[in-house]
């Protein structure tokens, strides 16, 4: 393993310390090395706080001359909620900068690298680029497309059902798997479900079992209004976006108007909601990432429209024989089936197995 790869892996470890805290900013870590020894480290803790390279520079005072800066994202050159970082890097004696990913933000996008090189600093980019992309995949996708990054999550029996024939789904998977899901909830900007899931399961859609620095927004896709608002999502903290059709007959009770916001989009000829328009609208509200937890029709519609970037599927040791399938609303011949995803990783949890699929580029 080369030194550049070794130290970039350390950078990723630092960046992950900001997981769940930094959105809408990316996770960034930085390591400063001199003569083979780490002399400074830092990571971005939250929006508005110092950037990773600035923290690392402050940590390495007295050891910066002739050093190498390792960082997973290109230093910025624009004034945002904090001052630009590239000019600081160029002024303190750092002679070499090693970067994993170019920042896709149009305000940066190669300008940081160009600036550093103009100051005589050697710059190497693309070190562990794929790993760096995965770390900040929400940010990269949102910056490039304006759409939130959508993760479809489902828990299945060994024979592929999300519930038994009576619709019961608690608990298909074990406690360790459920804890991992709550960690996922704490790392995204919003959690999405269909109206049927709210009416049947009455979930809170909150990250539990773990410390979460912020509450994700809750998104409910519902063409028709609820008969009442006696559900956990309206009692718990955090905003609720209700995605519905234009000119809908929703009447939000006065006591809930501060926490419920209608996102009205076009209805389609087949009676469904324009989910593409809905995601664009949510993206404009600053939502970069969504964890979709069902139901099967909503998940099927998102997949059919090509709006899912990642699938996280938990298989348990339970066998049901028959039950509810994870996707509905479409049926395809084997030669026409959706083949947009590639296997990224497998994880084991007690008697469960999680498989993660990423959408092909």
Query: Is 64 annotated in some ligand binding site?
Result: no
Nearest alpha carbon to residue 132 among 94, 95, 96, 103: 103
Q: How many CB atoms lie within 10 A of CB 360?
A: 8
The low-confidence residues of the chain, meaning pLDDT below 70, are 1, 79-81, 209-213, 333, 336
* Residue 1 pLDDT: 59
> What is the pTM (predicted TM-score) of this model?
0.90
- Domains of the chain in start order, with CATH, are 1-139 (3.40.140.10), 147-359 (3.40.430.10)
Q: Which residues are catalytic?
A: 53
Query: Is 208 annotated in some ligand binding site?
Result: yes
Which residue carries 């798997």 as its tokens?
177
* Residue 202 pLDDT: 84
Q: What is the pLDDT of residues 111-159, one digit of tens each?
A: 999 999 999 999 999 999 999 999 999 999 999 999 999 999 998 888 8
Query: Is 86 annotated in some ligand binding site?
Result: no
Nearest alpha carbon to residue 71 among 11, 155, 112: 11
* Residue 212 pLDDT: 66
DSSP state of 120: T
Query: Is 356 annotated in some ligand binding site?
Result: no
Query: Is 85 annotated in some ligand binding site?
Result: yes
């Amino acid at each position: 393993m080369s030194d550049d790869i070794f130290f970039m892996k350390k950078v990723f470890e630092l960046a992950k310390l900001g997981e769940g805290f930094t959105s809408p900013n990316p996770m960034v870590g930085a390591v400063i090395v001199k003569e083979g020894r780490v002399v400074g480290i830092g990571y971005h803790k939250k929006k508005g706080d110092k950037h990773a390279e600035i923290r690392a520079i402050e940590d390495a005072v007295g050891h910066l001359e002739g050093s190498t800066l390792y960082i997973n994202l290109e230093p910025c050159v624009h004034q945002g909620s904090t001052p630009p970082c590239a000019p600081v890097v160029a002024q303190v004696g750092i002679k070499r900068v090693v970067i994993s990913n170019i920042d896709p933000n149009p305000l940066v996008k190669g300008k940081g690298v160009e600036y550093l090189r103009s100051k005589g600093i050697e710059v190497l980019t693309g070190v562990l680029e794929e790993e760096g992309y995965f770390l900040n995949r929400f940010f990269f996708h949102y910056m490039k497309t304006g759409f939130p990054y959508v993760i479809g999550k489902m828990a299945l029996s060994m024979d592929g059902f999300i519930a038994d024939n009576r619709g019961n789904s608690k608990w298909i998977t074990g406690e360790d798997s459920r804890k991992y899901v709550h960690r996922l909830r704490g790392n995204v900007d919003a959690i999405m479900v269909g109206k049927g899931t709210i009416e049947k399961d009455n979930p809170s859609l909150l990250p539990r079992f773990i410390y979460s620095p912020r509450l994700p927004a809750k998104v409910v896709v519902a063409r028709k209004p609820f008969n009442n608002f006696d559900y956990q999502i309206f009692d718990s903290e955090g905003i609720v976006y209700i995605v519905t059709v234009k000119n809908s007959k929703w009447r939000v009770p006065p006591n809930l108007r501060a926490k419920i916001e209608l996102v009205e989009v076009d209805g389609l000829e087949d009676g469904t909601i324009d989910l593409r328009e809905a995601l664009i609208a949510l993206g404009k509200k600053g939502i970069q990432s969504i964890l979709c937890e069902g139901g099967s029709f909503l998940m099927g519609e998102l997949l059919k429209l090509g709006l899912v970037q990642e699938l996280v599927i938990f298989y348990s040791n339970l066998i049901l024989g028959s039950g509810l399938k994870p996707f509905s609303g479409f049926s395809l011949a084997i030669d026409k089936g959706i083949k947009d995803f590639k296997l990224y990783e497998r994880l084991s949890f007690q008697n469960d197995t999680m498989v993660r699929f990423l959408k092909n580029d």
